[in-house]
Structure 1
């Protein structure tokens, strides 16, 4: 199937719409640009336009991503950090943006997930339930030390 060809302005507008629909990071926009056959100069021009007009803002993207993954998906900081790094976000920006997660909310979340998951484990010995629950929380990206604190409280 041959690709439909668009004018430069049409492509630019499509990328604006892509960024308006939801916050994007640079690597997502780069990926999207690959759908269009653009010369490097055209890509650069569109990139600069998106940044200048604030359609593309890496910090805003990072902050919104952190909020969404924690408050909606209940991911821990480790999983959020790994996924942001895969999107090309710098460690410095990730660290700077982690304050989007309220510390008390984070502790409450670890506690709630721990106890909910633990209580759903049926027909197992306590140490097995604890072990499965710790693994579950680690897979969600929570820090081992913090999980251990919660599990010791019981």
Structure 2
């Protein structure tokens, strides 16, 4: 049998949930539904979390973009699609992408591509190019950027 939470208990749990990591509205709402809260209670709790600044969609989007780019090495298209999956508004997505300086973006892309090129042990040049290109595309980089880099790496 699952525990029944009062609105106050659920709000306190969500304050803690939001305080140790930025969360998006959809994530918190889903967590509240999992706790068995009714939609009116969810609305009240979400409003209170937003008012008390535990929940801030723009802050979430910005930290998500920074972290996924810096730590996971994701490209802008992948970050954008992941934010859209979390129902983040286009305005907040645009704000989040300003957290990634163009210089850093291209520098990280080049480092990632060159490292993958060096560590891919494929002898056949075409297969090696495909493996590295597939890797960079999975990371979410723009296809033209990937193609240009693969062409450059294939010549060296």
TM (normalized to structure 2)?
0.91
Greater alpha carbon shift after TM alignment, 113-122 vs 47-56: 113-122
Partner SS, residue 100 of structure 1: coil
Q: Deviations over 1:23-46 (max 9, x none)?
A: 000100111101223232221111
Shift of 1:83: 1.1
Ranges in structure 1 where 5+ consecutive residues have no aligned partner: none
Residue 54 (structure 1) aligns with: 53
Give the Å deviation of 1:97.
Answer: 1.7
Distance change >3 Å, CA 39–CA 123, structure 1 → 2: closer
**Shift, 1:96, TM fit:** 2.5
Over the aligned positions, Cα root-mean-square deviation in angstroms equals 1.4
Deviation of 1:65 (Å): 0.4
Residues 1-154 of structure 1: matches in 2 within 5 Å?
2-154=1-153
TM-aligned CA distance change 1:123 to 1:56, over 3 Å = closer
Structure 1 distance, partners of 2:142, 2:150, is 12
1:148 deviates by 2.4
Distance 1:39 1:121, change over 3 A: closer
Unpaired stretches in structure 2, ≥5 consecutive residues: none
**TM-score, structure 1 as length reference:** 0.92
User: 1 CA distance for matches of 2:59 and 2:129?
Assistant: 38
Moved more, 101-110 or 61-70: 101-110
CA offset digits 1:87-121 (Å, max 9, x no partner): 11123321232011111111011111111111122
Tell me how many residue pairs correspond in the alignment.
Answer: 153
**Quick one: distance in 2 between partners of 1:92 and 1:8?**
31
